[in-house]
Chain A
Amino acid sequence: MSTASAGLAKKLGYTNIRVYLDGEPAWSEANLPTYSTSDFIKNGNVVLIDIRPSKKAIAGRIKGAYSVPYESLEDKLDDVPRNAPIVLYGDKEVLDAVAAVRAEGFNFVSLVKGGYEGWVKSGGEIDKGPIFNTEIKWVRKLGKGEVSVADFRKATTGEDKDVVIVDARTKEEVAELGIFKNTINIPLDEIPARMNELPKDKKIYVHCSTGARADMAYNEMVKHGLNVKFLLLNIKDAECDCEIIRP
């Protein structure tokens, strides 16, 4: 993408063009700061954290922010899914905090431009007073093509009869671990050849062990005009709790 843009700029007559090929991933990896836009902070599905001492957060904080002083940050983040986008702000210590949170395994960590003061200056909304929400809660929003766990469960119980569930794991995995009720096993690699076994007038939910193969199977089925969704979940997760027919 950057090279395409650089090529265009060259054609437009710009004389001094550089390309940072390593890009944003290398910048983050070097633990250099990146920023989120205020639109993303306000409307995105983010975990916004004020890492200043709680006294300061009580006096004024960005609307929707959790107050987690830097020293307790690691504890509080323990149970937060690692794919949650974390947006931090604070005083000088915030740059260290970015490195620490990235080291905890979070893939998306960014900052508020100018911190709290910058937010206030740009007219962003704030909260004041005592803080009640101390437990960080973050629920991933369903992505394109995903089925909710609740809907998936309804199909396995037979409550929703308008669905064919496809288990995209290998035959060996199914033989070892069992299969959900009302489910047929078509291993991912056999799906292209066995597409005609799947009905076009029903919903199809596809799952595997973690969601990676299910995602691939989903893309394959979409191309063939099937009404398909996939389960992005490790089926060992307690959240699934669907009945298994044991081998």
Chain B
Amino acid sequence: MNKKKLRLLPLCLMLALLAGGCAGTQNAEVAEAPPAKEAAQKTEPLVYEGEIAGVSERAKTISITVGKGEQAKVMMVKFDDKTKGVNNAAKGRAVKIAYEMRDKDAFATDVQLKLAKLPPGTSEIKTPELQKLINDKAPIYLVDSRPLMRYNQSHLPDAHSIPVPLLEEKKGEVLPKNKDIPLVFYCGGPT
């Protein structure tokens, strides 16, 4: 039994690469096919990280967008009763999906939410406090980090639109000169 698995492994990995076509994407980590004998111990787990593009209960299938911008690709994995964390798979959520190849199909083994982590030296603000600061017209600089389209449609009172790529490019030019002013960043939610 074990031997058979070992022999099949390189084939499965190759199929993973072919079926997924994800060798070039940034976030998808696909293990290279190592020599068969070492494969069992050294294979990195197969993982997709990104935003859920769709979930079908009927087809028992999850689609996930991996990679950024031009390189973004939507990958499909199946799930079954053994898949952990299927409840975490809802459209728009950022998740990490561990999967394995069974024959030609990728099967999710575990779906985990990717919760945003606060960078060191920053702190979280909750709705009531932010509401008070805005109502009191406190001297804060509120930044909407989402793409401009989303800002145009609906943004918080007096928020400034600075999408992440713009901040990466222009750096301090698009932020206030006063480095001690309270900056508050928000986007489309915690995942």
Contacts and interface: CB of A to CB of B under 8 A. Distances in A.
Interface of A: 1-10, 12-28, 30, 32-37, 39-40, 44, 85, 108-110, 168-170, 173, 187-189, 191-193, 212-213, 215-216, 219-220, 222-224
Contacts of B104: 192-193
Interface stretch (B2-10, B30-38, B39-47, B112-120): B112-120
Contacts of A215: 53-54, 63
B81 interface: no
Contacts of B155: 24, 34-37
A6 B175 contact: no
Contacts of B187: 1-2, 5, 23-24
B85 interface: no
B124 to A, nearest CB: 5
22 contacts: A2-B187, A3-B116, A3-B185, A6-B185, A16-B181, A19-B186, A20-B130, A20-B184, A21-B118, A23-B186, A24-B146, A24-B150, A24-B186, A30-B127, A34-B157, A36-B153, A39-B152, A85-B153, A108-B154, A216-B54, A216-B74, A220-B76
B119 A7 contact: yes
Interface string B55-80: 11011110100000000011010100
B121 A33 contact: no
Q: Which of A17, A22, A39 has the most CB of B within 10 A?
A: A17
A188 B56 CA distance: 9
Contact of A26 (B58, B105, B179, B189): B189
A8 B171 contact: yes
Contacts of A219: 53-54, 63, 74, 76
Contacts of A12: 171-172, 175, 179
A101 B183 CA distance: 32
B162 interface: yes
Given A37-B151, A219-B53, A223-B74, A213 B58 contact: yes
Given A170-B59, A188-B61, 20 more contacts: A6-B183, A13-B172, A13-B179, A16-B183, A17-B183, A18-B182, A19-B186, A20-B124, A22-B189, A24-B155, A27-B156, A28-B154, A36-B154, A44-B153, A85-B153, A188-B58, A189-B105, A191-B76, A219-B74, A223-B73
A25 B188 contact: yes
Interface residues of B, number: 63
Given A5-B143, A193-B104, A24 B154 contact: yes
Given A24-B155, A169-B58, A170-B58, A18 B171 contact: no
Nearest to B150: A24
Contacts of B130: 20, 27
Contacts of B154: 24, 28, 34-36, 85, 108-110
Interface in B3-35: 19, 21
B127 to A, nearest CB: 5
Contacts of B116: 2-3, 19, 21
